[in-house]
Amino acid sequence: MRQPLVAGNWKMNGTRESAQLLIKGIINGMAGVTRAEVVVCPPFVYLELVGAALQGTQIPLGAQNVSKEEMGAFTGEIAAPMLKDVGCQYVIVGHSERRTLYGEGDQLVAEKYARARKEGLTPILCVGELLEEREAGTTEEVVARQLDAVIDLAGVASLAESVVAYEPVWAIGTGRTATPQQAQDVHAFIRQRIAAQSKEAAEQVRILYGGSVNAKNAAELLRMPDIDGGLIGGASLKAADFLTICQAAN
Ligand code: PGA
């Protein structure tokens, strides 16, 4: 059985004070969440602050991005060993905002994924199609291309210990969620594509859905057989909403 996973992607939001309040609210509401794993991904500069609050809890810390380089003269970048050093266990790679706003391509994302793994971080690999790609009927082609870049570089077996997040770009931050069936179809496609090369990896990889998941729609999405959890943006900034989603996953 795959352990359900809910990851909160705080994106570029918050202050020291609000980050502290949010993490306290989440920790205080976790009592009933015994089965699902819950991860929080604050902005880099608040990782240590949030990490300190997480001491003694079951909640792992995650980052939102990582450099493909190990260390060195890369101004403004953050290295995987630094993330390890401040207590991260997870890192999001290839989020659509990175792909579309910062020009990250499949190859770079695959290199980030490989770097994260090399340093002992669990990557949360984001894949997903643009609205025009869905309308053109190329969703599977796009997702396959994004996934294959990672499989080619890091090997299919690596996915057994990694997380994939399917996030249709048209559903992110738009309030327009994929229907449970639309999401399930792509999740099943991703799992089948992995299974064609490794049944074991396909069975073990956790595939999260992301894109306007909220306290109201989480349960019906998470009920689908190939949806193992959620990557939550906007709703992860409100402790009560995030906890409702965690409970649904649980
Ligand atoms: P959203 O973001 O929940 O605000 O749509 C999801 C994400 O970008 O990971």
Distance 42 CA to ligand 1 centre (A): 13
Structural domain count of the chain: 1
Does residue 197 fall inside a structural domain? yes
Catalytic residue, candidates 95, 97, 104, 187: 95
Ligand 1: which atom is nearest the Cα of residue 211? 5
Q: Which domain holds residue 205?
A: 15-249
pLDDT for 44-80, tens place per residue?
999 999 999 999 999 999 999 999 999 999 999 999 9
Does residue 3 fall inside a structural domain? no
Ligand 1: which atom is nearest the Cα of residue 126? 9
Does residue 90 fall inside a structural domain? yes
From its phi and psi, is residue 120 left (phi > 0), alpha (psi between -120 and 50) or beta?
left
**Which residues sit with their C-beta closer than 6 Å to ligand 1?**
9, 167, 172-173, 210-213, 231-235
Does residue 130 fall inside a structural domain? yes
Does residue 7 fall inside a structural domain? no
Residues of the chain with pLDDT > 70: what percent? 100
Measure CA 118 to chain center: 18
CATH code (residue 53): 3.20.20.70
99, 231, 237, 242: which to mutate for ligand 1, most atoms within 8 A of CB? 231
Regions of the chain where pLDDT drops below 70:
none
Ligand 1: which atom is nearest the Cα of residue 231? 9
Does residue 10 fall inside a structural domain? no
- What does the pLDDT read at residue 97? 98
pLDDT for 125-147, tens place per residue?
999 999 999 999 999 999 999 99
In angstroms, rounded to a whole number, what is the distance separating the alpha carbons of residues 70 and 39?
24
Does residue 83 fall inside a structural domain? yes
Does residue 2 fall inside a structural domain? no
Question: How much is the pTM?
Answer: 0.98
